[in-house]
Amino acid sequence: MSDDFSDTVKKALAARVGHLCSNPECRALTSGPQDDPAKAVNIGVAAHITAASPGGPRYDPDLLAEERSAPSNGIWLCQNCAKLIDNDPTRFTVEVLKKWKTDAEEEAKTRVGKTAPINESPVDLTIGSRFKITPIVPREHEQSDFLLLQIVGDCFQFEKLGTSRQVNIPKSFIEKVHKFGDTRPALIQLSARLQWVTPKRNFDLFPEKPPGGSAGACGVGKNIDFNYPARAGINGSFAREDQLPRVLSEGWSIFYDSDGRYFRWPGHEVDQILVYRERQ
């Protein structure tokens, strides 16, 4: 038995906060246009402040069914934040969520009918703090911490922790910043991708996002012929795509070109991917 919100309640919750996520550290816009001019996308969720059914996060047995599905028990969030609050109900308590809701509605109230401020949403990151960044190709680097060294013009300059590898990320490429309190590094979500580039042995920013699914772990490929690495003087070898996990665990790495793409040689049964090993 789940006491869900009606469509009317969902629409009201979204509209009361101007269709922005109510998490004060997010404020993502949750609706926008689709290619079809008659349709709109919605990434917003009417989340329950106290759970809709027993066993759910922050469930309150004292509420009546109609109270559980009433607008007062709902908060408008983006999909990411809706997941975040349900994964950690001890941090995101009923009190915290009620405060978010009140503040978001208050903020929307002060904005109604006003023109946009000149600097609409300045990205505010603290110099010297650690961050995780997504998406990064190869995906394993998303586990790494990056230190914000300084702000250079319109760019944030990051250094991968424990290395001297630096990368400048323009503020306009930062889609969202997810903060998880003081102890865990905040997560920076890019509207692009950070990409390991083998010839430069560093990270570069590329405007395309990696494809979804397991292909996204490798990023964007391009087809070449079998003799390309020899011609280009790349110290590498081809590995069957279905053998990649084993090959990578043996100390090989995927070779990425200076345009941020990896090399793929279409094989008879399985495509082969160009890998290389660091010279000692």
Q: CB 37 → Zn ion: shortest distance, Å?
A: 27
Q: CB 60 → Zn ion: shortest distance, Å?
A: 23
Per rule CB under 5 A, is residue 26 in the interface with Zn ion?
yes
Applying CB under 5 A, the span of 56-64, 74-82, 120-128, 256-264 interacting with Zn ion comes to: 74-82
Q: CB 212 → Zn ion: shortest distance, Å?
A: 20
Q: CB 162 → Zn ion: shortest distance, Å?
A: 31
Applying CB under 5 A, the span of 76-84, 111-119, 167-175, 212-220 interacting with Zn ion comes to: 76-84
Buried b (16+ CB within 10 A) or exposed e, 38-76: eeeeebbbbbbbbbbeeeebbeeeebeeeebbeeebbbb
How many chain residues bind Zn ion (CB under 5 A)?
Answer: 6
Per rule CB under 5 A, is residue 85 in the interface with Zn ion?
no
Rounded Cα gap, residues 209 and 262, in angstroms? 14
Residues making up the chain, counted from first to last:
280
Question: Looking only at Cα atoms, what is the longest distance across the chain?
Answer: 73
Q: Which is nearer to Zn ion, 184 or 246 (CB)?
A: 184
- Considering only 81, 137, 148, 239, the residue that binds Zn ion (CB under 5 A) is 81
Rounded Cα gap, residues 147 and 131, in angstroms? 6
Per rule CB under 5 A, is residue 21 in the interface with Zn ion?
yes
Long-range CB pairs of 96-104, under 8 A, 24+ apart, other chains included: 97/47, 97/49, 97/58, 98/49, 100/22, 100/23, 100/24, 100/75, 101/17, 101/22, 101/49, 101/75, 103/22, 103/24, 104/17, 104/20, 104/22, 104/24, 104/27, 104/76
- Considering only 52, 78, 97, 148, the residue that binds Zn ion (CB under 5 A) is 78
Q: Which is nearer to Zn ion, 176 or 193 (CB)?
A: 176
Q: CB 10 → Zn ion: shortest distance, Å?
A: 16
What are the tokens at 216?
A: 């996204």
Per rule CB under 5 A, is residue 23 in the interface with Zn ion?
yes
Rounded Cα gap, residues 156 and 162, in angstroms? 18
Q: CB 26 → Zn ion: shortest distance, Å?
A: 3
Q: Which is nearer to Zn ion, 104 or 137 (CB)?
A: 104
Residues interacting with Zn ion, by CB under 5 A? 21, 23, 26, 28, 78, 81
